[in-house]
Amino acid sequence: MSQIVTFGEVLMRLSPPGNRKFIQSNRLEFYFGGTELNVGISIANFGGRVKHISCISDDFIGNTAISYLNKFDVDTSSIVRSSRPLGVYFLEVGAVMRPSAISYNRSHSSFSEIEASMVDWDSSLKDATWFHWTGITPALCKGAYETLKEGLILARKKGITVTADPTYRSGLWKYGKDAKSTLSELLEYSTIFIGGVNEINEVLGTDYGYSNEDFIEASKLLIEKYPSIEKVFDKIRTSLNSSWHKIRARMWNGKEFRESEDLDITHVVDRIGTGDAFAAGLIFGLQHYEDYKAMEFGSAACALKHTYEGDVNFATVKEVEAILEGNTTGRLKR
Amino acid sequence: MSQIVTFGEVLMRLSPPGNRKFIQSNRLEFYFGGTELNVGISIANFGGRVKHISCISDDFIGNTAISYLNKFDVDTSSIVRSSRPLGVYFLEVGAVMRPSAISYNRSHSSFSEIEASMVDWDSSLKDATWFHWTGITPALCKGAYETLKEGLILARKKGITVTADPTYRSGLWKYGKDAKSTLSELLEYSTIFIGGVNEINEVLGTDYGYSNEDFIEASKLLIEKYPSIEKVFDKIRTSLNSSWHKIRARMWNGKEFRESEDLDITHVVDRIGTGDAFAAGLIFGLQHYEDYKAMEFGSAACALKHTYEGDVNFATVKEVEAILEGNTTGRLKR
Amino acid sequence: MSQIVTFGEVLMRLSPPGNRKFIQSNRLEFYFGGTELNVGISIANFGGRVKHISCISDDFIGNTAISYLNKFDVDTSSIVRSSRPLGVYFLEVGAVMRPSAISYNRSHSSFSEIEASMVDWDSSLKDATWFHWTGITPALCKGAYETLKEGLILARKKGITVTADPTYRSGLWKYGKDAKSTLSELLEYSTIFIGGVNEINEVLGTDYGYSNEDFIEASKLLIEKYPSIEKVFDKIRTSLNSSWHKIRARMWNGKEFRESEDLDITHVVDRIGTGDAFAAGLIFGLQHYEDYKAMEFGSAACALKHTYEGDVNFATVKEVEAILEGNTTGRLKR
Amino acid sequence: MSQIVTFGEVLMRLSPPGNRKFIQSNRLEFYFGGTELNVGISIANFGGRVKHISCISDDFIGNTAISYLNKFDVDTSSIVRSSRPLGVYFLEVGAVMRPSAISYNRSHSSFSEIEASMVDWDSSLKDATWFHWTGITPALCKGAYETLKEGLILARKKGITVTADPTYRSGLWKYGKDAKSTLSELLEYSTIFIGGVNEINEVLGTDYGYSNEDFIEASKLLIEKYPSIEKVFDKIRTSLNSSWHKIRARMWNGKEFRESEDLDITHVVDRIGTGDAFAAGLIFGLQHYEDYKAMEFGSAACALKHTYEGDVNFATVKEVEAILEGNTTGRLKR
Amino acid sequence: MSQIVTFGEVLMRLSPPGNRKFIQSNRLEFYFGGTELNVGISIANFGGRVKHISCISDDFIGNTAISYLNKFDVDTSSIVRSSRPLGVYFLEVGAVMRPSAISYNRSHSSFSEIEASMVDWDSSLKDATWFHWTGITPALCKGAYETLKEGLILARKKGITVTADPTYRSGLWKYGKDAKSTLSELLEYSTIFIGGVNEINEVLGTDYGYSNEDFIEASKLLIEKYPSIEKVFDKIRTSLNSSWHKIRARMWNGKEFRESEDLDITHVVDRIGTGDAFAAGLIFGLQHYEDYKAMEFGSAACALKHTYEGDVNFATVKEVEAILEGNTTGRLKR
Amino acid sequence: MSQIVTFGEVLMRLSPPGNRKFIQSNRLEFYFGGTELNVGISIANFGGRVKHISCISDDFIGNTAISYLNKFDVDTSSIVRSSRPLGVYFLEVGAVMRPSAISYNRSHSSFSEIEASMVDWDSSLKDATWFHWTGITPALCKGAYETLKEGLILARKKGITVTADPTYRSGLWKYGKDAKSTLSELLEYSTIFIGGVNEINEVLGTDYGYSNEDFIEASKLLIEKYPSIEKVFDKIRTSLNSSWHKIRARMWNGKEFRESEDLDITHVVDRIGTGDAFAAGLIFGLQHYEDYKAMEFGSAACALKHTYEGDVNFATVKEVEAILEGNTTGRLKR
């Protein structure tokens, strides 16, 4: 059976309840997340078969993380273990004009110990028909970059669809490699680009603006430079403040430009992982619908994710489709 | 002293905290509710004398339910007990475009065992001057229908005011009786109709639209067909999404049509039982004010209910009247 | 790979925190349990491959239950779904001379709808080398009895080891079948008996006492009457009160009588599922050790279970073996 | 119908969860209690008809307190309201050799405002056949003393049984009256004395020791001095530490001395209100059994109270009687 | 090093979680607050050196309060202790059209026992360069008024800047002094007035309206009457309802009128202490910026406070300045 | 004023509530601890003036840790900050025969970055009269060892009393230094040894047994080898299981051997930090009492610590002394 494979760090998220700060609390809530894992679990919740590959601590925290993945029926058989602790991030959830704040403890985590020799890509990708990667992984450490690159080489050799979400985060990239050239190299193995003009500018060294015209131009140039890439999908967030967002998406699939309607998220419950929910919805959508509906599915999935606490999108296909059919008034389901 | 009597199932409501799903939680919050009980408790909180009649499990859960009613000073002396378990419903609270979801465990509950012979209506209605029923009760099982019918016959014989809230819920009505004819039959014993064109259409087999003109026409026809009915009150909800509603009400009291202003509920805390809060406010209002103010009282009570967790409306008369006087800015009360 | 198969109802357990009664609380903690499932999960926590077969509600509660099993890596592929609600039990946890109390809501649960035709035993037992059943399942309803019997017939045909824990609970057995004859019939297909003189007396109609001599006599007679049974294992609990228990075990394996030392559980955390932990430890033990050590493993597993909240035994093989090696002083593990 | 009447302050109890100190917590749990109220609620939980008389704040805290009494079906119709705040006490729950600690905020509470003119004793005692008072009430303020005295005078005039629990607490008695003479005066109206040699010594100015002989002598002298008193009941607590107590009782009923067996409370859950549980059990017992069994009922009720969080004893008659029948091993009730 | 000194009651705040009422809960969250303390802690969180002077109960509650101040590095060395209990307030948090409600228990609190002789102002103000008082303190009791007056006299003698926030609260002022004349007297010692036309009208006996013109006129008259006052700052709140506020500020600094932009608080988390956050931001601002930016800093600080649970503003200088720079979209900080 | 200085890592402790495992929970409770900090806070709670020196992360977690120290009035002015994250440990609390389990995330923590040049010992020890160190610090990393050594050299030069608690933990000591020689070197600067035969054997390479005779011999030899050491104090724990411990202490002060009575901790609430509580009680005791009473004070402090959740001992001098006076029955303090 065909599998979607994700590869990346699993982090423990620790946050005080509600809008509390750590200084105000002696209780925390915890979840497990990580940008690629969030994509994987969300697709599993849509009913897709998903495997996640990672390097996880060999202690009761790591056991808890693996049982968390099992809970969502994500295949954990290719996960390797390490004596280092699992990466952690601390989150204070903002509201209105107060931004949420994150502090990481990941630079010497179990995942930071990964090396290409630890993952057996042949067996890991045996049933894979899709591979998803993000710019976070190669930004973490040399071993992660090299492991990912090996996986991508094999994925391309097998003709697997490869989605790239080359998010550039300036707080990372501390181990010596350069973001621009590294992401460029990895895009050579990718077939679908999830990102907007910021990411394209970062990779191409251009300075396109946010207009639809610029997006189309940028996408065309990207595809020209990276011929393996066939389509570009971009999610656009407009934030009134921490508690009120709007989401829409646009795409250039090599043939046409399309843009979806704004979805109005008037009361954000949890904003973490919403970009991952878009990627997951898009990937699932591209497997089941034509491009425009796939993008709309991603956009609606992203909007729904804002209503779940934690990093994970729990939305089902039926729930996302209800929004595509215009049922956004939240009528009680008995 | 004059008593308002309600009759219906008492359910235990179980829901994870906040917007969590069951899969995300290992804790639940519980309440007791039920559409008629919610009306009763709300009226008791306004200071009315209320008796609730039901059939409740004969275990520590049933004891807890009865103590819950006692807490609100609702008369529990006519409640009968059964060896079957209390009905339960599970609730996941939605947000924004995610609807709340409910799963019931009630089809073999203690209330489902009720039979007409179990309730001594003569003594139960001894002090009653008002009787309230809803379309949920006859939809549950034959015994509930027959018990209710006996009560209604006696209520009419005693000249008690009877409010009917013939909510039609398609997931019920599984025991053989037909909703349309059953509700029709029970409306014969009712004097005030709480419902809109949907409910009228269901009962009369008509297809009126939502305009005020249609509402007036529908109401006139209803009163024509059911001469015991004197007045029709309708609450109209406009949902932007799960978290943002607007409420207004309209009425045809046989003489005039009136419509109240929209009340804007920008941050819904809990939407369950808000219809019941309208009915309770209306009933209490009709006992103390003229029709239009009674309807406004119901509408403001309904709006306030959206700010309380659980099924119960805690609003006092003073708090509802403050809204009628235009104090809707939520100024702190010291 | 060889699998241990369990079959039985999955129940949702709802209890107020700590020693609270329902009347004192508005919060509950929930778990999923069920005597056979508890055995299965415990064996999975020892590292065994386990499949659980059941009939679970087709709603978000049922989905949560299945994800709970997945979390422990229990194979859920043979579970069937039903439109009825999942069975529930309510628990108030006692202390000292106050007993814990349970109220069930299971008589019309999803599992009560099971029929022999719903379970495909051929595929369900494909990889099975062990089958475990208890007296709860045939006590629930005719369908459960018939389904179990079909499974047992096939298990015996395949030469699978069958453990029987014929717990007799007088509050059940309400659907027409007689406990004595039914359990007798099912024991014909069993190879290992987990139970003491009470259970033997129930099945054989004898009245042995609690002495070791009586236990040996009773066991011999049981094996004589049911030649498929090879060994008898009995767990003995001595309760000072709800909070302080002692556990030991004894066995007659057809050749020798052995008795283990008392394990002193001075501060019971959670007593539910401790018998199931004994069965699980014993089963796992019988697969890996000789009889006496298997029984000691079961007894230590049972003792450890008293220290975990919920129905599940989280003890690992290493943790149980530490107790067998005499490490019972609870020295901190860094 | 005959009613048991209690009179005294209702206090809000605030304590951090578990064994936490206030400095360690930002959450509290709250209950309502008060020594006489605790007696009343416990008797109501046995099925007795109980009225509690008090003076309660006229705010949402007072409303909550009254609803708390209603919940247990205690008659609140004779409660008066005051503009002062409800009394509060803060509790830190100790363990082992750490004592629990209490800090009061009651000296200007609503109850401290009570005056004899505020309670209409004629109507309050209309259905009363029993009146219970403790030494806390006259120790609080002049108005409480005078109000109590008026009630006692009427109670004696009506021939009602009067139980006195003249607990002497040195931290009180600050308003000018002397404990010895005041308690002496009030004992003149009492028929049953609940207390031991400490209390007798306090009232008589004697110095009896703790031996049974001394207890008998002291009781005889007490009855001699206060001829209205017929019986003396004493509960004896032996504390190994905060978490482990033993309870027994002894009595001199004017004819014979009896002593009950020790009840061993190896794991104290909550020690507050256990003396009140003894008084309640004794009072209920004296209404239904002969003296010795009544005392045993009180002692078992007291022991059970140690297993409930909060001030209230939830034990039912059936549960107390189970202990009298020797069922102290806490066997699970299904 | 220069210190900002605040003087006033410390109260314990007790509220059920979320929007619950006391009748719905058995848990509370607690904080310590008090209008002057809130100002002090907020300034300490900006990095200012702050001393708070008060009279606090000499029990474990008082110890907890002092440790709460220490936590924020507020100097507690001038606090005196009393045998009376700490003042308490109970809060039910409203939503939408439901106002929050407060009930106080402070009239016989530890602070109510304060007398001028208890505070050694010479040593207390040794390092002070700023003194802040509000109209709550002189409204509580004679001792508080007299103590404050002594402090103000010394403050003026030392040439310390004195901010006055003469909030008039009609529920107080019960000990005999008249609000108008007392506040007038204390304003003689003040240099900066924090308040609007309501407060000016109260003090001057005028009836200015809310227009900017009226505000300027009123401010000019105030400065004329109280020549020590140099500047007037006013915070204006527009409430759509309990959950949605807007904040802006205006000023007359003797030379020019300025008005800030509206800040839109679409989802109020906690409204208590937001006025104090304005005062704190303004005071800190006046020490570091020119008047208009100081006022804007106060306004942004006030807006941010609405996003923190409890009475305290946790915003740092960096966070407030981010808003002044226009970063109000709540972009996640990693 | 004279100060007691402690130096060591501050760790965040994360544990599920009660006896839950991480796999069973989604909530955690957190505290800050660390063996030397625990000693410091405990002494501060006795009223001693304490400074703690450490290296703490420069993020909101580090801020929270510092505010935690401030809360107990521990001087934080010599703490340095680092860009690395604060060390974390995860704790699962055992019960009965289940041991508690700990997993660390500290090897690349902020404290691991400390270097001798970062601490200005001259100013840090300006007011110091006592310095306390443990074997954990030099076991962590070279920088910690070197920093500690510099502090010890200065402490000895200033003639400060130095307590050494050379706990040997085999899971540490991974950076290259040898425990035996390093601890030996640091003991040269110490005046009081807190430890037993295990620690002495580790340092001297001897193999003394647990008898008092061996303890005396070992102590004498230790003092002979390290002439700066004057006294040896040893705390002895006897564990029945995780939930039931006994504590006593013994000493050789160069002149006499003394041994204290067993303290029976029948219900352990939290065992973490109890050794630190002994050290803190001993240190405080040596400053105020003669040696034997100091040791008893330490032993009673240790026993009391078992009753507080978290790492910190909250016991006051009065509470410890009450135990020394024999008040161990936990009588309620009103």
| C-beta separation of F168 from F202 below 8 A | yes
Task: State the pLDDT confidence band at D44, using cuts at 50, 70 and 90.
Answer: very high
Q: What is the pTM of this model?
A: 0.96
Following CA atoms B223, B224, B228, B229 in sequence, which dihedral angle do they give, to the nearest 10 degrees? 0
Compute CA distances F198 → F190, F211, F234, whole Å: 18, 12, 10
| C-beta separation of F60 from F14 below 8 A | no
Q: Where in chain D is the domain with CATH 3.40.1190.20?
A: 3-231, 232-334
Tell me what the pLDDT averaged over chain F comes to.
Answer: 96
| C-beta separation of D309 from C27 below 8 A | no
Given 1.20.1260.10, 3.40.1190.20, 3.10.450.30, 2.102.10.10, which CATH number is that of E3-234? 3.40.1190.20
Contact C23 B92 (CB under 8 A): no
- Touching check for E242 and chain C: CB below 8 Å? no
D256 CB-near residues (< 8 Å, 6+ apart): none
Distance from the B21 Cα atom to the nearest Cα atom in chain F, whole angstroms = 13
pLDDT tens-place string over residues B318-331: 999 999 999 888 88
- Touching check for B25 and chain F: CB below 8 Å? yes
| C-beta separation of F303 from D243 below 8 A | no
Q: Please report residues of E whose CB lies closer than 8 A to that of D92.
A: 60
Task: State the pLDDT confidence band at A168, using cuts at 50, 70 and 90.
Answer: confident
Q: Please report residues of A whose CB lies closer than 8 A to that of B95.
A: 267, 269, 307, 330
Nearest to C59 by CA among E235, B107, F230, B90: B90
What is the number of other CB atoms lying within 10 angstroms of the CB of residue F138?
A: 26
Please tell me the distance from the alpha carbon of residue E311 to that of residue E72, in angstroms, as a whole number: 13
Contact E20 B323 (CB under 8 A): no
Contact F85 A103 (CB under 8 A): yes
The sign of the dihedral angle between the CA atoms of E278, E284, E290, E296 is negative
A neighbours by CB contacts (3+ pairs under 8 Å): B, C, D, E, F
Contact A103 F61 (CB under 8 A): yes
- Sole residue written with tokens 């690629």: A36
Q: Please report residues of E whose CB lies closer than 8 A to that of C25.
A: 26
pLDDT surpasses 70 at D1? no
| Three-state secondary structure call for residue F282 | helix
Task: State the pLDDT confidence band at F329, using cuts at 50, 70 and 90.
Answer: confident
Contact F330 D99 (CB under 8 A): yes
pLDDT surpasses 80 at A1? no
Q: Please report residues of C whose CB lies closer than 8 A to that of F271.
A: 332
CATH class of F3-324: alpha beta
D279 φ, ψ (degrees, to nearest 5): -60, -45
Max CA pair span of chain A? 55
pLDDT surpasses 80 at F1? no
- Determine the CATH number of domain D3-231: 3.40.1190.20
Host H or E run for residue E40: helix E35-45
- Touching check for F113 and chain A: CB below 8 Å? no
Please tell me the distance from the alpha carbon of residue A204 to that of residue A222, in angstroms, as a whole number: 7
| C-beta separation of B59 from B85 below 8 A | yes
Please tell me the distance from the alpha carbon of residue A190 to that of residue A203, in angstroms, as a whole number: 14
pLDDT tens-place string over residues F237-290: 999 999 999 999 999 999 999 999 999 999 999 999 999 999 999 999 999 999
Looking at residue C44, what is its pLDDT?
98
pLDDT surpasses 70 at B1? no
Q: Please report residues of B whose CB lies closer than 8 A to that of F24.
A: 26
Window 267-306 of F, Cβ < 8 Å to D: 267-269, 300, 303-304, 306
Compute CA distances A229 → A215, A253, D109, F225, F279, whole Å: 15, 10, 76, 75, 66
CB neighbour burial string for E29-68, b if at least 16 within 10 angstroms, e if fewer: bbbbbbbbbbbbbbbbbbebbbbbbbbbbbbbbbbbbbbb
Please tell me the distance from the alpha carbon of residue A189 to that of residue A153, in angstroms, as a whole number: 7
- Touching check for B24 and chain C: CB below 8 Å? no
Mean pLDDT by 10 residues, chain C (334 residues): 93 97 97 97 98 98 98 97 97 97 96 97 97 98 98 97 93 93 96 96 95 98 97 96 97 97 97 97 98 98 98 97 91 83
**H helices present in chain F, as ranges:** 35-45, 60-71, 121-124, 136-140, 142-157, 179-187, 197-204, 212-225, 274-288, 291-305, 317-324
| Three-state secondary structure call for residue B181 | helix
Contact A334 B243 (CB under 8 A): no
Span between the terminal Cα atoms of chain B, in Å: 35
Q: Please report residues of B whose CB lies closer than 8 A to that of E95.
A: 267, 269, 307, 330
Q: Please report residues of B whose CB lies closer than 8 A to that of E101.
A: 332-333
Q: Please report residues of A whose CB lies closer than 8 A to that of F29.
A: 26-28
Distance from the B306 Cα atom to the nearest Cα atom in chain A, whole angstroms = 14
- Touching check for D154 and chain E: CB below 8 Å? no
Given 2.60.40.10, 3.40.1190.20, 3.40.50.720, 3.40.50.880, which CATH number is that of B3-229? 3.40.1190.20
Please tell me the distance from the alpha carbon of residue F269 to that of residue C267, in angstroms, as a whole number: 12
Count D/F contacts: CB-CB distance under 8 Å: 84
Contact F98 C329 (CB under 8 A): no
Following CA atoms D75, D81, D84, D85 in sequence, which dihedral angle do they give, to the nearest 10 degrees? 30
Looking at residue E1, what is its pLDDT?
61
pLDDT surpasses 70 at E198? yes
Of the residues C69, C71, C76, the best mutation for testing chain A's interface (the one with the most A CB atoms within 10 Å of its CB) is C71
For residue D21, give both structure tokens: 């100190």
- Sole residue written with tokens 């499932």: C37
Distance from the B236 Cα atom to the nearest Cα atom in chain A, whole angstroms = 14
Please tell me the distance from the alpha carbon of residue D223 to that of residue D215, in angstroms, as a whole number: 12
The ipTM estimated for the assembled molecules is: 0.95
The DSSP code sequence of B211-230 is SHHHHHHHHHHHHHH-TT--
The DSSP code sequence of A213-229 is HHHHHHHHHHHHH-TT-
Q: Please report residues of C whose CB lies closer than 8 A to that of F244.
A: 266-267
| C-beta separation of E223 from E254 below 8 A | yes
Span between the terminal Cα atoms of chain E, in Å: 34
Q: Please report residues of C whose CB lies closer than 8 A to that of E25.
A: 26
CB-nearest partner of B239 from A265, A329, A333 = A329
CB-nearest partner of B28 from C28, C92, C103 = C28
| C-beta separation of C127 from C96 below 8 A | no
Please tell me the distance from the alpha carbon of residue F179 to that of residue F136, in angstroms, as a whole number: 10
Max CA pair span of chain B? 55
Please tell me the distance from the alpha carbon of residue E234 to that of residue E209, in angstroms, as a whole number: 13
Of the residues D307, D312, D320, the best mutation for testing chain C's interface (the one with the most C CB atoms within 10 Å of its CB) is D307
Q: What architecture (CATH level 2) is domain D232-334?
A: 3-Layer(aba) Sandwich (3.40)
Q: Please report residues of D whose CB lies closer than 8 A to that of A16.
A: none
Of the residues A20, A23, A56, A309, the best mutation for testing chain F's interface (the one with the most F CB atoms within 10 Å of its CB) is A23
- Residue C87: strand pairing partners: C11
Looking at residue E171, what is its pLDDT?
87
Contact F29 A31 (CB under 8 A): no
Host H or E run for residue C213: helix C212-225
| Three-state secondary structure call for residue E129 | strand
Looking at residue C84, what is its pLDDT?
97
Q: Where in chain B is the domain with CATH 3.40.1190.20?
A: 3-229
CB-nearest partner of A98 from E268, E304, E310 = E304
pLDDT tens-place string over residues D129-184: 999 999 999 999 999 999 999 999 999 999 999 999 999 888 899 999 999 999 99
Distance from the C157 Cα atom to the nearest Cα atom in chain D, whole angstroms = 36
Strand order in the sheet with A27-33: A101-105, A87-92, A11-15, A27-33, F27-33, F11-15, F87-92, F101-105
Please tell me the distance from the alpha carbon of residue A143 to that of residue A118, in angstroms, as a whole number: 10
- Touching check for B24 and chain A: CB below 8 Å? yes
- Touching check for D328 and chain C: CB below 8 Å? yes
Please tell me the distance from the alpha carbon of residue B115 to that of residue F18, in angstroms, as a whole number: 46
E neighbours by CB contacts (3+ pairs under 8 Å): A, B, C, D, F
E244 CB-near residues (< 8 Å, 6+ apart): B266, B267, E265, E266, E267, E268
| C-beta separation of E137 from E9 below 8 A | yes
The DSSP code sequence of D73-124 is T-B-TT-EEESSPPEEEEEE--BTTBPPEEEEE-TTSGGGG--GGG--HHHH
Please tell me the distance from the alpha carbon of residue E327 to that of residue E302, in angstroms, as a whole number: 16
C80 CB-near residues (< 8 Å, 6+ apart): C54, C55, C56, C114, C118, C119
Please tell me the distance from the alpha carbon of residue A56 to that of residue A79, in angstroms, as a whole number: 7
Q: What is the mean pLDDT of residues B140-165?
A: 97
| Three-state secondary structure call for residue F99 | coil
Compute CA distances A112 → A124, A332, B329, whole Å: 20, 45, 53
Count E/F contacts: CB-CB distance under 8 Å: 16
For residue E162, give both structure tokens: 């004195």
Tell me what the pLDDT averaged over chain B comes to.
Answer: 96
Q: What architecture (CATH level 2) is domain A3-233?
A: 3-Layer(aba) Sandwich (3.40)
- Touching check for B105 and chain A: CB below 8 Å? no
Angle value at C-alpha E33, between E27 and E35, nearest 5 degrees: 140
Nearest to F203 by CA among F221, F216, F217: F221
Please tell me the distance from the alpha carbon of residue A320 to that of residue E51, in angstroms, as a whole number: 55
Give the single-character DSSP code of A210.
S
Angle value at C-alpha F64, between F59 and F66, nearest 5 degrees: 95
Looking at residue E137, what is its pLDDT?
98
Give the single-character DSSP code of A99.
P
| C-beta separation of D315 from D263 below 8 A | no
Q: What is the mean pLDDT of residues B172-198?
A: 95
Span between the terminal Cα atoms of chain F, in Å: 34
Please compute, for residue C159, the number of CA atoms within 13 A of its CA located in the half-sphere on the CB side: 0
Tell me what the pLDDT averaged over chain E comes to.
Answer: 96
pLDDT tens-place string over residues A233-256: 999 999 999 999 999 999 999 999
pLDDT tens-place string over residues A172-201: 999 999 999 999 999 999 999 999 999 999
Q: Where in chain A is the domain with CATH 3.40.1190.20?
A: 3-233
By C-alpha distance, the chain B residue nearest F20 is: B26
